[in-house]
Structure 1
């Protein structure tokens, strides 16, 4: 179609984009932002990006999703129904191949902004974006690291010093993850944009009907304590440790179930350990669910023994529903939006310390109170966060 005005695809001699936002048939064309999310597996990072995508003003900003070919949970149909596009690149395990593929793709689709959500690995994505002449390059930190993941942490620590070389702008889900990747001085100078892991708060309010229905689905009577864990099966989420906690809980009271929501590379390993510990009757593996928001109402407590986190979306969702949490000391304290709901236990503490943290949490949900308004005031209402994100993109 013919265009008028100057297009973002015009280039100066140095290969950089020049000109104003494009106009087609007299109407402004949305700013296209390439959202680089790596391997899509239905995790919290992808959920945060998709939450914002569903609520942004897509007449002003449109997303393209850059995902790895080893992704398992790409909502391609939904993205395309909203006007977005999905492009595939090889995994970053081969950095040279990955950078070359990203550079060629950016040269092909001409994004005005590349927003990389790959933490320390964003160095590769944004190197390619700079080589392609993309004018706005955002590095977004969502997580940290853990010494127990030796190979992964080594890669992160090697790449961290380069985290500010290729981006033009910095972002993070919270203060802790911002400081981990970009450093205290950068954060203290106000150079990192905090973008909350915002959600549709009302969807996570406590729902008595959902509680009754879902507990019936897993054959959990009112006197059974249902513990939930939500997230991909990985070393970071520490589901193997969760089974150790469950084994001790069952010794004290066999009327307990542990419900896992999610999929991932370690799922078979966790299933095998549950079998070896004789816990098969006390564990439910429900995989990926579209009704995760309702399961917070069905749970009596959320178990969160992560080895490291940025600012976990699951913790926010659970607190909206008034669900108590037992979390590791590796979950940033800024995740304690309703402090009375959160019990912190060190991963170095004995199993008995974790078991005792559940003593106050019975299966009776009477008195559960939702916290929609309180958490909205902390910046986690998606409609407000999405509007702010559009404003930021337009300003950049």
Structure 2
């Protein structure tokens, strides 16, 4: 029996996040007797997805974090790596800030190179400026330009590049069955979380980082709660701002109405407990959690800066971040409706985002490209 080909993913971290959710969705749904994934990450605590990767047969390599000052050491690490590991014919890069460096080295060693855009911003300040500058050559270096949405593709590669034959918009696949609504699960999860049957639950799933805009979400809930006492805020995730947001809830006097269970692998259960999914991000590529929430039948109230590529059903409402009253009106409208599963019509619209379909398309792509490498 032939050994599977091995595709190398450079992903910076195996802690929970959007690009990680995408890769693991593909990894769980490909035929691993034909295609195996291995990962290059930067130094970090071995938690979250490490055990899952190991169970699925993946290998994890640790490369130094790029600081600028270690440019030559960083290049040497990648050169040495490809020399020592000739088994890799394809590299899929999810780290855009240094992609123009490691993809160029990979090409020199004969690999087929894929760049993947998962975002639409590098943030502000000097760090954002440096990242923006470093990523400019990517469109000229990578063999293939992938993006989670066309908005993310235009942002990273430029509009002209998105019309090239080597550009592909790859949907962030979701296991539609896993995230489907289940009334019995809803009752059980709400009971476990101490949520009353009639309480209106505003929910969010995402890392506690600046782009997700948790600060606004807490302000929004605190103000809405003043005149709507029977409601709770459920925020699932972890990240560098977790404690700051927890303190914000305490300072606003709403801590007893806010549930923050941290980082979880069973996110499908938490969607069941929600009545509205709220996603007020400052910028995004294509948020997987918004697709998952739609699969669960949840009305999704999201900021109007988020790509229209995620507008897959009639469950999406785009709202401005400078007008809280509009969000409150939508809360009231959702609260007045019965919680139910996704309609057949909406489920049909989600089919292009089905994780099994996306995984099979990528599997065929990897197998074709592996023959071209070296």
Question: Structures share a fold, TM > 0.5?
Answer: yes
Contact 1:300 1:362 in 2 (8 A): yes
For residues 258 and 358 of structure 1, the distance between their equivalents in structure 2, rounded to whole angstroms, comes to 12
Alignment of 1:273-312 (within 5 A): 273-312=248-287
Q: CA deviation at 1:277?
A: 0.9
Query: Structure 1 residues 42 and 89, CA, compared in 2 at 3 Å: closer, same or farther?
Result: same
> 1:77 matched to which residue of 2?
51
1:251 matched to 2:226? The reply is: yes
> 2:145 matched to which residue of 1?
170
1:113 matched to 2:52? The reply is: no
1:357 matched to 2:333? The reply is: no
Q: CA deviation at 1:357?
A: 2.5
> 2:372 matched to which residue of 1?
none
> 2:175 matched to which residue of 1?
200
Q: CA deviation at 1:72?
A: 5.6
> 2:121 matched to which residue of 1?
145
> 1:236 matched to which residue of 2?
211
Contact 1:222 1:363 in 2 (8 A): no
SS state at 1:200 partner: coil
Q: CA deviation at 1:176?
A: 1.2
Residue 344 (structure 1) aligned to one of 289, 294, 318: 318
Which stretch of the first structure deviates more once superposed, 234-243 or 55-64?
A: 55-64
Q: CA deviation at 1:363?
A: 7.2
Query: Structure 1 residues 86 and 360, CA, compared in 2 at 3 Å: closer, same or farther?
Result: same
> 2:42 matched to which residue of 1?
68
Bigger relative contact order (CA 8 A; separation at least 6): 2
For residues 146 and 288 of structure 2, the distance between their equivalents in structure 1, rounded to whole angstroms, comes to 16
Query: Structure 1 residues 270 and 124, CA, compared in 2 at 3 Å: closer, same or farther?
Result: farther
> 1:126 matched to which residue of 2?
103
Contact 2:16 2:49 in 1 (8 A): no
Q: CA deviation at 1:391?
A: 0.9
Contact 2:294 2:342 in 1 (8 A): no
For residues 363 and 71 of structure 1, the distance between their equivalents in structure 2, rounded to whole angstroms, comes to 44
For residues 201 and 151 of structure 1, the distance between their equivalents in structure 2, rounded to whole angstroms, comes to 40
Q: What's the TM-score once normalised by structure 1's chain length?
A: 0.87
1:386 matched to 2:356? The reply is: no
1:227 matched to 2:199? The reply is: no
For residues 72 and 256 of structure 1, the distance between their equivalents in structure 2, rounded to whole angstroms, comes to 37
Q: CA deviation at 1:99?
A: 3.6
Deviations 1:242-297 (A, max 9, x none): 11101111112111111111100111111111111111112111111222112112
Q: CA deviation at 1:161?
A: 1.8
For residues 183 and 389 of structure 1, the distance between their equivalents in structure 2, rounded to whole angstroms, comes to 23
> 1:331 matched to which residue of 2?
306
Contact 1:226 1:363 in 2 (8 A): no
> 1:102 matched to which residue of 2?
78
Contact 2:206 2:236 in 1 (8 A): yes
Contact 1:205 1:370 in 2 (8 A): no
SS state at 2:197 partner: coil
Query: Structure 1 residues 44 and 79, CA, compared in 2 at 3 Å: closer, same or farther?
Result: same
Q: CA deviation at 1:92?
A: 2.9
Q: Which runs of 5+ in 1 are unaligned?
A: 1-26
Which stretch of the first structure deviates more once superposed, 273-282 or 114-123?
A: 114-123
For residues 75 and 258 of structure 2, the distance between their equivalents in structure 1, rounded to whole angstroms, comes to 42
Paired residue total: 365
> 1:12 matched to which residue of 2?
none
